Amino acid sequence: MAAFAKRQSSTRADRVPNEDRVRYLFAVLRVVADIQPHEIGAGLEQHAIDRGPGWKRQFKARLDEYEQLHRLNLDQKSHLMRRMRMCEESPNLMRAGLLLAAWSLVLATLCNLSWLLAPQPVLYLVTLGLTGLLGYATAATLSIFDHEVSTAARWQRRVLCSTAGAFAVAVSMLVPDSAMLITQSASKRSFQLEREAYAADPRGFEAIRKLASDTFGVNVVLGGVDQSWSLTSVRVPEASVASMGLGSGFCTLNFSPNRIHAGFGGGSGVDPALWVRGVAIHELGHCVDTWRDLALAASRKVATHSIAPVQATKVSDINGYLAATEEPATQQWREVFSDIFLVGYWRLSAPDQAPALIDALVAHRDANAQNDRVHYTTCWVNLARRSPLPDDLKGLLAWTDSLRDDASCQLTAKPAHRAGIKARLRDLLGLD
């Protein structure tokens, strides 16, 4: 009988259906222990076939009982225990779900730590420790480890589970960092190709650069990968599809035409090329508006054209100027200038298509008014679309100043701490 059992145990268990494994297990028990079917109980066998919870514990209790009655010796009991471990129990779905949720949470936390908190080793090490414990706990629940170490000592199982925990830590360190590097590399390469195409297009950046230099006397450069990629392609609070930075003697345009097309389009009925050009002109308005304020900053003098009137009276030096730029009223004041500037540009350069473009701008501002008061400029835009235009683009600056200064529209942007939780979360996530 022992030879028969040994020969049968050499069969690859993973090729046998679980129900057959269970039936064979109980058949061997009856033969080895010379037990009648009714002595074991059909209920336990069916419970095992159905993968009911706890059947292995009940089966082991029967083996202990038969061993005490000397109907099983130690070798026979060990063989039956190995056979039992080859049979699968019904999975604990709740436990598996909790482990999966915990694993996802740890990985997400670790990924964020690698991005934001890597210089803080304590938090990083704590997260790695939690990941190791979770990997150990996960390994301890897998039946494959029962099968592999069934003939080994208990400490071997612990070593194997500890190895699984260490592997979990290694994977948790490797996956976020590798994903970050691969994603960054691909995204930067895509941005570089996009930038080169926009810079080479005569109707793209070159037209903006020439307009800025010849008409308004400011120098505009197109931001490179190191300056502009993260500001246009990474979802952080400071990121945007387009922005304008002020440098020493020039302005830097951070620009992503592809992202404008993907999620910041003007909608149907609007020329996409003119819409993208309009976004760049809006940013040029920021350059023109702020450049004249800081042109004399080296001599400790600043103007306050781009500072909201309520804040301008408090500005006496560069420090006061910079403090005023953080105020929502000034931020909205600057957006007002750029949108009026843009409306005037559209009306002068593309009079036939300007109405549709302006309608799209108003619709976009109105749609986001609840969560983005800084960019809510509809009152000024509607005024600009009706006001008499200057003779040419060279008069656009004075025309924009006049409309912004004399309009009866009210600034409505409030400090960020007054915004609701929902609005702040939407702002943090970059949602419109």
- Continuous H helices in 222-317: 225-233, 257-263, 272-294, 309-312
Question: Which tokens in the block code for residue 398?
Answer: 């004075």
pTM of the model: 0.66
Region 327-342 average pLDDT: 93
Question: Which tokens in the block code for residue 172?
Answer: 């948790």
Q: Indicate if the pLDDT at residue 168 is higher than 90.
A: no
Q: What is the pLDDT of residue 158?
A: 67
Nearest-angstrom CA–CA distance, 327 and 332 = 9
The residue type at 312:
A
Q: What is the pLDDT of residue 401?
A: 93
- Continuous H helices in 50-153: 55-68, 74-85, 93-112, 121-140, 143-148
Q: What is the pLDDT of residue 297?
A: 60
- Report whether 233 contacts 255 (CB < 8 A): no
Q: Indicate if the pLDDT at residue 149 is higher than 70.
A: no
Q: Indicate if the pLDDT at residue 162 is higher than 80.
A: no
Q: What is the pLDDT of residue 147?
A: 44
- In Å, what is the CA distance from 44 to each residue of 32, 63, 159? 18, 13, 33
Region 141-164 average pLDDT: 57
Among 334, 197, 328, residue whose Cα is nearest residue 255: 197
Nearest-angstrom CA–CA distance, 306 and 330 = 7
Helix (H, G, I), strand (E, B) or coil at 70: coil
Q: Indicate if the pLDDT at residue 178 is higher than 60.
A: yes
- Report whether 271 contacts 265 (CB < 8 A): no
Q: Indicate if the pLDDT at residue 347 is higher than 90.
A: yes
- Taking every pair of Cα atoms in the chain, the longest distance, rounded to a whole number of angstroms, is 111
**What does pLDDT average to over the chain?**
78
Q: Which one has a higher pLDDT value, 210 or 113?
A: 210
Classify burial at 260, counting beta carbons within 10 Å of its beta carbon; exposed 0-12, middle 13-18, buried 19 or more. buried
Nearest-angstrom CA–CA distance, 264 and 95 = 43
Measured in degrees and rounded to the nearest 5, phi and psi for residue 108 equal -65, -40
Q: What is the pLDDT of residue 150?
A: 43
Question: Which tokens in the block code for residue 142?
Answer: 């897998």
Task: Give residue 425's pLDDT band: very low, low, confident or very high (50, 70, 90).
Answer: very low
Residues 352-409 pLDDT 10s: 999 999 999 999 898 888 888 888 999 999 999 999 999 999 999 999 999 999 989 9
Q: Indicate if the pLDDT at residue 7 is higher than 50.
A: no
Helix (H, G, I), strand (E, B) or coil at 221: strand
Residues 252-300 pLDDT 10s: 998 888 888 877 766 777 888 899 999 999 999 999 998 888 876 656 6
Q: Number of H helices and number of E strands within the chain?
A: 21, 3
Residues 211-256 pLDDT 10s: 999 999 899 999 888 888 888 877 766 678 888 888 778 899 988 8
**CA atoms lying within 13 Å on the CB side of residue 350:** 17
Nearest-angstrom CA–CA distance, 234 and 78 = 59
Task: Say how far residue 100 (Cα) sits from the centre of its chain.
Answer: 19
